[in-house]
Structure 1
Amino acid sequence: MLVSIVYMSRAADDFGDDDLAELLKGSRLRNEAMGVSGLLVAKGGRFMQLLEGPAWSVDDRFAAISRDARHLEITSLIREDIERRRFDGWSMAFRGLDDEDLHAVEGFSPFLSGATDFPRSFDRTSAAWLLKWFRDRELHDV
């Protein structure tokens, strides 16, 4: 059984591009080892993440994130059973990098540029709507 969770949170402290790249690197390793894939979007001091994989591993990752002092105001938005993965691997989209930097960061997603389209099978889901909503809003540190 595969599940998907979408949550939002706020960064406890400022996250610079180097911090986000390091977070991406560590998260990719842990998530891969646990069989978790998904997308993390970071902007304006806020995060929205979709995690997917076996229920036990997704629940474990979400519990670890919930205990992580780098996150505040963690809100689970959707938890649903899924038939197949919608994200191959694990990636992160965040603002502040130029095109040259994008190519140097493995796992970076151009999702925030608006150039990424979801597959039709995923595009009409609540999770896709939430991710696009997050992308299209101006969010600011609070």
Structure 2
Amino acid sequence: MRTSKRSSLIHLIYFSRAQLSAEPGVRARQINEIARHAQKKNEFSVITSLLIVDQGYFIQILEGERMSVQETFQRISADNRHRDVHIVEWREITKREFVTSFASAPRTPSNDALFQKANLGPMLQRGTPKASTIYSLAQALQADTMAKQGIDHLFV
């Protein structure tokens, strides 16, 4: 009898209402501060992630070992910069899809077309974003960022 081995590598997608300043300059500094702290913590915990910031929401994909992702998500849920934190998807994966310990992708004029195509706004407002839509947007944002850096493919 063959038993399937459970993977300890998981990914978690969540969204929350961002509790950040409405002033663009202050907001950018707040996101940079989040990135600086998260990158250090994620490197230590061997987590890869992508944080999408759009229309007053945080949307993030975390990848890593089950316990590390669980601890990271608990810390995020308790952070006062997040309100109404909801898990969209939590599942086992066989390999990582994201390459950095922490990358952020706020909506900007240069990536606005990707956000428009995903059309997450109405889903977020209803509280019903689809994991597949978030995942596709995150993949497109990662590919766009890497293309701007002259990287044309990943070896993950």
Instruction: Please point out which of 122, 126, 133 is paired with 1:129.
Output: 133
> Secondary structure at 2:39's aligned position in 1?
helix
The match for 2:57 is 46
Instruction: Please point out which of 60, 67, 84 is paired with 2:71.
Output: 60
Number of equivalenced pairs: 112
Q: Which has the higher contact order (CA 8 A, sep 6+)?
A: 1
1:6 maps onto 2:13 in alignment = yes
Give the TM-score taking structure 2 as reference length: 0.64
Residue ranges of structure 1 left out of the alignment (5+ in a row): 100-109, 116-125, 135-142
Q: Deviations over 1:81-137 (max 9, x none)?
A: 0001010112110135x87xxxxxxxxxx6x5639xxxxxxxxxx744224469xxx
CA distance in 2, matches of 1:113, 1:61: 31
Runs of 4+ in 1 over 3 A off after TM superposition: 131-134
The match for 2:83 is 72
CA distance in 2, matches of 1:129, 1:11: 19
Shift of 1:65: 0.5
The match for 2:98 is 87
Which has the larger share of helix? 2
Give the TM-score taking structure 1 as reference length: 0.69
Asked if 2 retains the 8 angstrom alpha-carbon contact of 1:2 and 1:81, the reply is yes
Q: 1:45 to 1:55 in 2, by over 3 A?
A: same
Provide the aligned C-alpha RMSD in A: 2.4
Larger Cα-atom Rg: 2
Residue ranges of structure 2 left out of the alignment (5+ in a row): 1-7, 116-129, 139-156
